[in-house]
Structure 1
């Protein structure tokens, strides 16, 4: 493509150069003609108004008096001929002596009427530009005519002397223009990678189709315009981040995505979505062209992972319960074999009453799925040396929250609290309806979080794959709950002394 453009430019420059040169030569010809008209008129008028001219015309031998004067004036002024004649066209002077006494061949009618005029006429010396003017004596009587002229041949010589200069300037300008075009062609070839216009169009169409069809969001920022606008923003990126139509600046992105550092499968919260973000530089050789940010929607997957985590916790708890039950049954059988039947009955009854009490309390306070989850969490916490209890009178059944959301909320808050409390600590789950809102409160004996830590944990999620996530140990839990609170018009708050995280949802904000 760049070669084609180069040759097109050179062809255009040649055409422009030729047309320009012709125009300059033509203009020079017109200028020379205008100058000739002015000079011939001036010479003819000066001679006609010179008193000696009228005097010579009345003398017995006008030629003898006038010819030396006209020859001198013609040589000095560059005229090819100066003719002084009688009103009847009879010549007294001429550069060709053989023409003296003959009849002037040009137009004289207007001069006889007192006008001074110029014309282009083919006379005895060939085509010429001539001026004709009347000669009057001191009494105002017309006594003759004066004609001064320059041949076309002389004027052509003047124009030809200009042609080499014009051609030289045109050639220099053409050489400079071709050199600049060559530089432009090389630059264009580098920028287009040697692709033809058809290839570029096809590449753009494919590029545009792929961007619209991508299931991932993509945002590209150029290195030259780091803060925007973005060079590329596809439809999925606008949907995932709820971006407006039109140019997108870096400031339009969520705060956690505005940086320029590399990201690898980092989880971010944006509005009601859980997103996995990757950001990598685009480089050609050692030159950085910009950065590419890709986004994958992980919202539904995260909800499924939350439910799977609850089921996994329940399965672990059941496995632990089965193991404990086997131990207890072994103890009962051993007591019976030792003949201590009453002790065996009392031990079995006590264990059954304790387990049934926990189940009965939770069954009245929560959804069956949440009850199973709490039983599993209580068992897991007990194995870690943490006591988990449900407050007397807690109501985890009502309210606007769905069973799936309840699993996510209870599971994450209890896990966070158990981690914060540590071995020997305690965790309490409470909740219910009060003053037109439903709340879920989880208290623990841990140190709690500062406002800055809480804001950070709610503002974006952290995958436990990263060291930063292991330090905080809270993963996506608080971010998901904060997202739920915003979606339902509620609040998620944290307090200290004791450490408490509370989710409040207004009644009537049930999900679809």
Structure 2
């Protein structure tokens, strides 16, 4: 039964009208109360000042002063005081001597009696204003001393205005203020309805629950899209971004877009509003296909940009695995080619009956490989870095390039917070470039020398080659995205990827020209505050 009579909650329109009316009524009430209080104080202050002025005029009346010396002062003072009372509008004027005995009063029977309020202040020479009760009731009173010609206080002049008269005047002013408040309320009621109706039209007459539901649906649809999707304003403010976009861009997807490659593509789109753009771009160390579609507010005005970002091979994880598999395949191919040559050599020695030389050849090969593996395992803590260096050793043998290591090198103080995947990307690209540079310039005499140390606060590695070297202009060219000397679509991103990976590690690189070739130095801080451990990265993922 109680459910039948349960009040229905008002909609957004009703809530807004009630809110505006409540605020309006409260403001009007506060204004009326404040104005009434101010008027009350002003009238009381003005009435008190008026009473004091009349009292001072009475005290300075020569006829009243002279009457104090008469045999019967009251007979002379009473008529004068009553005339002054009628002329000034005061409710009473009382003249009393030093002992407080009245010489005048609106009620004649009170003449000759002592005043009910204290005359201490006026008899001391001070004038006072106060509210007090008397014979006629509560009144705003003023008392002042009466002086004779010699300057001696001979009596007291007391003037009063009854508070009921003051209150009636205050009430009249309060009614006027209330009338203005009522007028404001009459104007405010239709105004409240107009504002509420306008807001409802702007939000398509939807209730808050409906707006919330529609927003949740839109957000769910956006988040369910497999590709990264962003909406960007012409001022590069990010209007919306789904989870995939936030995962790819990271801090670049907060507030204002800061990713430089995407900003360059957006500028191109803003300059060509009628063109749909699809570009391959390097974003945060990975290659993506970026589709850009402008949002046209008018025929030529762009109000925003929609970006769809897809991994270069459609699935980013698959692309990374494919790269790793390709690297392993290259390493295996290099090893296979190298061992095939050695097996042919060994087979030839056996066919010729050179058994001792065959044994010596096998021993030398085993010792050489074992020494390299033992050296790297004993000087480098991270097995992933050991694996990539062994792969580069095999690639160097295939390219007929001599690769050597400084015997005093070590990377044993390798913090777990450093992401070895980024380190592999950096040193792998630099060693490949060194092998190719020395091979092209020196041929069979090509050589690459590696040295690395963990002394101090940084991990440092020097990669030296005896290639042609590099000028400052060539360095500026080769370290820009897409720059290459090879005619192949997959080339030209290695050094750019290396730079991005190194920046993720918080490291730096330096180039030093040698008499023959170039020395590339990388320095990676051990205690970069942005580093996280492998366990933290797994938990974050």
**Alignment TM class, shorter chain as reference:** 0.5 to 0.7
Is the CA contact 2:290–2:307 (under 8 Å) kept in the aligned structure 1? no
Give the direction of change, closer, same or farther, for the CA distance of 1:143–1:277 in structure 2 (3 Å limit): same
User: For structure 1, which runs of at least 5 residues remain unmatched after alignment?
Assistant: 306-363, 365-394, 400-432, 440-457, 460-476, 490-505, 508-512
For 1:269, the equivalent position in structure 2 comes to 281
Which of 251, 256, 273 matches 1:248? 256
Which of 40, 47, 53 matches 1:42? 53
Give the direction of change, closer, same or farther, for the CA distance of 1:245–1:217 in structure 2 (3 Å limit): closer
Is the CA contact 1:85–1:92 (under 8 Å) kept in the aligned structure 2? yes
Aligned equivalents of 1:277 and 1:137: distance in 2? 106
2:232 matched to 1:221?
A: yes
For 1:127, the equivalent position in structure 2 comes to 138
Is the CA contact 1:256–1:268 (under 8 Å) kept in the aligned structure 2? no
TM-score by length of structure 1 reads: 0.54
Aligned equivalents of 2:119 and 2:317: distance in 1? 111
Is the CA contact 1:273–1:298 (under 8 Å) kept in the aligned structure 2? yes
After TM superposition, the structure 1 = structure 2 runs for residues 420-435 of structure 1, keeping only pairs within 5 Å, are 435=437
Aligned equivalents of 2:223 and 2:141: distance in 1? 78
Is the CA contact 2:144–2:157 (under 8 Å) kept in the aligned structure 1? yes
For 1:296, the equivalent position in structure 2 comes to 310
Is the CA contact 1:227–1:250 (under 8 Å) kept in the aligned structure 2? no
For 1:18, the equivalent position in structure 2 comes to 29
After TM superposition, give the deviation of residue 27 of structure 1 in Å: 1.8
Deviation string, structure 1 residues 212-233 (Cα, Å, up to 9, x no partner):
55422222134xxx22322223
Is the CA contact 1:116–1:134 (under 8 Å) kept in the aligned structure 2? yes
Aligned equivalents of 1:110 and 1:269: distance in 2? 95
For 2:238, the equivalent position in structure 1 comes to 230
For 2:169, the equivalent position in structure 1 comes to 158
Aligned equivalents of 1:140 and 1:184: distance in 2? 72
After TM superposition, give the deviation of residue 205 of structure 1 in Å: 5.6
Aligned equivalents of 2:55 and 2:84: distance in 1? 10
Give the direction of change, closer, same or farther, for the CA distance of 1:234–1:479 in structure 2 (3 Å limit): farther
Aligned equivalents of 2:317 and 2:134: distance in 1? 108
2:116 matched to 1:105?
A: yes
After TM superposition, give the deviation of residue 4 of structure 1 in Å: 1.2
After TM superposition, give the deviation of residue 111 of structure 1 in Å: 3.7
Deviation string, structure 1 residues 74-133 (Cα, Å, up to 9, x no partner):
344332111112344443323345554555433334444544323322323221111223
CA RMSD of aligned residues (A): 4.9
Aligned equivalents of 2:138 and 2:398: distance in 1? 116
Deviation string, structure 1 residues 461-481 (Cα, Å, up to 9, x no partner):
xxxxxxxxxxxxxxxx96544
For 1:372, the equivalent position in structure 2 comes to none
After TM superposition, the structure 1 = structure 2 runs for residues 93-492 of structure 1, keeping only pairs within 5 Å, are 93-97=104-108, 99-175=110-186, 181-182=192-193, 184-200=195-211, 211-212=222-223, 214-222=225-233, 226-240=234-248, 244=252, 246-249=254-257, 252-254=260-262, 255-258=264-267, 259-260=269-270, 261=273, 266-271=278-283, 272-281=286-295, 290-300=304-314, 435-436=437-438, 480-483=490-493, 486-487=496-497
TM-score by length of structure 2 reads: 0.51
Aligned equivalents of 1:141 and 1:276: distance in 2? 105
Give the direction of change, closer, same or farther, for the CA distance of 1:303–1:218 in structure 2 (3 Å limit): closer
Aligned equivalents of 1:264 and 1:243: distance in 2? 27
Bigger-Rg structure (1/2): 1
For 1:369, the equivalent position in structure 2 comes to none
Give the direction of change, closer, same or farther, for the CA distance of 1:174–1:244 in structure 2 (3 Å limit): same
SS of corresponding position for 1:292: strand
Is the CA contact 1:276–1:298 (under 8 Å) kept in the aligned structure 2? no
Give the direction of change, closer, same or farther, for the CA distance of 1:46–1:303 in structure 2 (3 Å limit): closer
2:91 matched to 1:80?
A: yes
After TM superposition, give the deviation of residue 235 of structure 1 in Å: 3.9
For 2:403, the equivalent position in structure 1 comes to none
For 1:428, the equivalent position in structure 2 comes to none
After TM superposition, give the deviation of residue 25 of structure 1 in Å: 0.6
Give the direction of change, closer, same or farther, for the CA distance of 1:245–1:87 in structure 2 (3 Å limit): same
SS of corresponding position for 1:231: strand
User: For structure 2, which runs of at least 5 residues remain unmatched after alignment?
Assistant: 1-11, 320-336, 338-394, 400-434, 442-480, 500-518, 521-541
Q: Which has the higher contact order (CA 8 A, sep 6+)?
A: 1
Deviation string, structure 1 residues 107-166 (Cα, Å, up to 9, x no partner):
334444544323322323221111223323234554332110001122112212312332
Give the direction of change, closer, same or farther, for the CA distance of 1:27–1:185 in structure 2 (3 Å limit): same
Is the CA contact 1:120–1:130 (under 8 Å) kept in the aligned structure 2? yes
